[in-house]
Amino acid sequence: MPKTRKQKEEVVDKLTKDLEESKGVVFSTYMGLTVFDMEELRNLLHDEGAQMSVVKKTLLKRALEKAGFDDVDMDQFDSGVAVTTADDEVVSAKTLAQFGKKHELVTFFGGIMENKFIDGEKVTALSVLPSKEELYAKIVGSINAPVSGFVNVLAGNLRNLVGVLGAIKDTKE
């Protein structure tokens, strides 16, 4: 059953709001996926704090224009478009890329990052970057490494001293 004009306007308004508020937006294919696969993908995205919606290209074009993204070339979207939005720049691209390893049907058309359109190759490059949590863990590990090394050096001297004193005690007995 076709959507009414009011329903289409609501879809455009919601999509416009999502595009404006999201830090990371990815446009990808979904055609050929089964309903079960789509549900699995949506659940994976939901667990990561992202959401995916499938919209007609004409409604997407209106939402992009309304949100101020006039530089998006809609001609490159040759099939149905899934729009994935998230508050993290990397999470939607990373999750879609991991899902795409099992399902070759998922490919990137492009995305929006820092209010600029990026092509599919840049989204693919973005998907291999570590997440914020991984970067935070690496920073903490880098900061902690010299301190823990220094503590181990000091503890090693104490261990050696205890070992020497134990050897002296054994020789005197």
Span 8-48, pLDDT tens digits: 888 888 988 888 888 888 988 888 888 898 899 899 889 98
116's tokens: 């600029």
Query: How far apart, in Å, are the Cα atoms of 108 and each of 8, 55, 76, 83, 101?
Result: 25, 15, 11, 10, 13
Task: Report the percent of the chain where pLDDT is more than 70.
Answer: 99
Kindly tell me the sign of the dihedral angle through the C-alpha atoms of 126, 40, 31, 98.
positive
pTM above 0.75, yes or no: no
Q: Torsion angle of alpha carbons 136, 140, 143, 147, nearest 10°? A: 180
How far, in Å, CA of 34 to CA of 37, rounded?
Answer: 5
5-129 is a CATH 3.30.70.1730 domain: yes
Would the pLDDT of 1 be above 70? no
Kindly tell me the sign of the dihedral angle through the C-alpha atoms of 78, 81, 87, 92.
negative
Q: What's the average model confidence in pLDDT over 147-168?
A: 84
H or E element that contains 145: helix 132-172
Span 41-74, pLDDT tens digits: 899 889 988 899 888 888 888 888 888 887 777 7
Q: Which residues contact 169 (CB under 8 A, 6 or more apart)?
A: none
99's tokens: 């899902």
Would the pLDDT of 98 be above 70? yes
